[in-house]
Structures are given as C-alpha cells and as structure tokens.
C-alpha cells in the first residue's frame, strides 16, 4: 500500500470581516498518496483554491486556518511558522498558480526566476542554477532554452509562460505539486499539451499531485481520485471511474450534465440552476438544497452525514439515507 504524503483533517479556513469570521473551507478532510493525482473540482467560489493556499501557507492577510491540521510527511504545516514554511514551500511542496500571464514577475528574466529557488533551497551557485534552469526548460519542452533564460515573461506566449511556471515548480523535485487551474486562459490545443506534460512529468518524477479545476474533461484525463467541493464542503469523493460512471450527489450529476458531449448530437446541456452562495450567506441544513431538484424537508434542516457507496466512494447527501433514486444511482450505507 502506498504511503500517504498529505493528510488534511477537518480544515476550517476563515476570512476576517466586519460581520465576524467568514468560513471559506468548512471542515475539509482528504489525503493524497505517493504518486497519486487527486483532482478537486467545483464551481468558482467553492473553496478549491483557498484549500490549496491553506496547504501552501499563502492565504491573504485577512485569511487564517481556524481549525484542523495539514500533515505533510508527518509534519503539521498548519502549525509551522512563516520561516519554517519558507523551507517547505517551493522545495518539498510546489504550486503552479492560476494565471500564467500574471504569475511570473514581469521585471525579472525567466532565468532569474528559475535560478532563485535553486539557489535558496538547493544552495546551488548562480552558474550551477543557470545550467539546471536550462535543463528544466528542456524538460518542459521549451525550444531554444539557452535564449529563453535571458528573456522576460512578456516575450513568451501564454503556453510557454505556463511551461516556465511548471519548470519553476519542479525545480527542487518536490514530493507534492499543486496545480491550480493550470490551463486557464490557454487555447484548447495548448491545454491538452500542458495536461499531457504534467502527466508525463508526474510519472517521470514519481510525484504526488493535486489538480484544482472546474473542467471535468481535464479530470477525466489526469485524475486517479476526485473530490467534489461545494460552498467550502467536500460533498463527494471517489475514484475517477466511480465519479464519472456512478455519481451520487445531485451537484456532481449537475457538473457532469453541464459538460458538452460532441459525440452525441442529441445531448442536451443542463445547467445547474442558481449560483454558489456567498460566504456570509446563512443556509441551514445542506448548503446545496436551494439549488437541488431533489431537496426535501430534512435537507433544509440538518447537515447531511457521510454515506459510503463503496469502500472508496463517499457522499454527503440525505437522499442516500432515504433511498431516493437519481437516474439509477444506488443507495449507500451510512458511515
């Protein structure tokens, strides 16, 4: 059995406001094993990126981890000081940020930005870091890497900037890579290249990876396991084939139904009614019930328990207890 690299337990992340703390992540628990790719999916505002920033210790100044633990290789990142986190971040745990157009510093060359983590974490000389940077650019498929090292980000295309971000993230051979919407703002062809590159590098370097996305097509391509988040809560979890072939939560079904199917001319897109609730919005019971076509009285009164569909697939939905069928879904057993 593969070792667990990351274990998040009951994570609660809040933001300060005039009305008091606003929870953005509400008791999230999950783990990532060595060599595994875990995809976290959901609409914008569901808490995906805040979960990643909590792990990285990069929350904005008004954000904080209010409760829970984040164990990475038996060390609780949630209890580390900023100085301790600096030694872990970019070295053992790296992150590819959401916007390749803005994530790189425009006033420094590509070479400077690749050399920096190598010199800080691996204590390489400038010359050694420069040569390693050229190797990294080759590894991520950037042509003419020697020339690229002396260029500024604005001189590169969006796809090349994303490859540079990947090279920087992998420069210190991290055990865990977090990729936050790594294909955002890229055209479809470049998106496919980036996904293939991440898959290949993960296998080559024997890394674990957390992929954050709203694109179910990306999930199908790269995931081993999937977590579905809604309004800061994990509402369904399972192996990728279970989530796609036997989704249990109405929200998961809605996400899958809203993906176009180019192979079926009869396919009818079904958008999810309503929108994600605001952080300060008070909702009793299940937070999805205002948008759920299957909601009944209990959904509006009590937060759902976790039910197991299989030993690997779990869901938080009262429909499982009631045995209500949703397009042939099977009933789960209570935790």
Please say whether the beta carbons of 248 and 309 come within 8 A. yes
The predicted model gives 302-321 an average pLDDT of: 94
List of residues 6+ apart from 268 with CB closer than 8 A = none
Percent share of the chain, pLDDT over 90? 79
Reported confidence tier of residue 330, pLDDT bands at 50, 70, 90: very low
pLDDT category at 329 given cuts 50, 70, 90 is: very low
On the question of pLDDT at 129 being above 80, the answer is: yes
Residue 198 pLDDT greater than 80, yes or no: yes
Span 229-248, pLDDT tens digits: 999 999 999 999 999 999 99
Residue 189 is predicted with a pLDDT of: 85
pLDDT at 61 exceeding the cut of 90: yes
**In this predicted structure, what is the pLDDT of residue 244?**
95
**Weakest-pLDDT range from 72-86, 176-190, 215-229, 303-317:** 176-190
Q: In this predicted structure, what is the pLDDT of residue 179?
A: 95
Summarize the confidence of residues 129-155 as an average pLDDT: 95
Look at residue 334 in the predicted model and tell me its pLDDT: 41
Contact between 100 and 162 (Cβ < 8 Å): yes
Name the band, by pLDDT with cuts 50, 70 and 90, for residue 332: very low
Average pLDDT over residues 40-47: 94
Q: Name the residue ranges covered by the structural domains of the chain.
A: 248-334
Is the separation of the CB atoms in 41 and 237 below 8 Å?
A: no
Mean pLDDT of 152-158: 93
Residue 296 pLDDT more than 80? Answer: yes
pLDDT at 271: 85
């Amino acid at each position: 059995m593969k070792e667990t690299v990351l274990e998040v337990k009951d994570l609660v992340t809040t933001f300060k406001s005039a009305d008091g703390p606003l929870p953005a992540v509400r008791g999230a628990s999950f783990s990532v094993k060595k060599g595994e790719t875990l995809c976290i999916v959901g609409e914008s505002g569901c808490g995906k990126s805040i979960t990643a920033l909590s792990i990285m210790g990069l929350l904005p100044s008004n954000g904080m981890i209010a409760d829970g633990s984040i164990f990475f290789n038996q060390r609780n990142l949630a209890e580390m000081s900023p100085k301790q986190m600096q030694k872990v971040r970019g070295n053992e745990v790296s992150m590819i940020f959401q916007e390749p157009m803005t994530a790189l510093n425009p006033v420094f060359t590509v070479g400077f930005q690749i050399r920096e983590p190598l010199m800080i974490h691996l204590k390489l000389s400038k010359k050694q870091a420069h040569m390693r940077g050229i190797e990294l650019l080759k590894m991520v498929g950037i042509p003419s890497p020697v020339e690229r090292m002396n260029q500024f980000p604005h001189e590169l295309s969006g796809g090349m900037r994303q490859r540079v971000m990947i090279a920087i993230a992998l420069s210190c051979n991290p055990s865990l890579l977090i990729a936050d919407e790594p294909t955002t703002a890229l055209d479809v062809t470049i998106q496919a290249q980036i996904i293939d590159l991440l898959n290949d590098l993960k296998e080559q370097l024997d890394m674990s990876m957390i992929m954050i996305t709203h694109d179910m097509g990306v999930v199908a391509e790269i995931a081993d396991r999937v977590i579905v988040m809604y309004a800061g809560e994990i509402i369904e979890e399972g192996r990728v084939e279970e989530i796609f072939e036997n989704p249990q939560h109405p929200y998961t079904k809605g996400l899958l139904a809203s993906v176009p199917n180019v192979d079926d001319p009869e396919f009818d897109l079904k958008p999810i009614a309503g929108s994600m609730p605001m952080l300060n919005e008070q909702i009793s019971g299940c937070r999805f019930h205002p948008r759920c076509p299957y909601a009944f009285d209990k959904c509006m009164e009590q937060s759902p328990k976790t039910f197991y569909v299989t030993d690997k697939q779990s869901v938080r939905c009262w429909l499982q207890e009631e045995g209500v069928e949703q397009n042939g879904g099977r009933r789960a057993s209570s935790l």
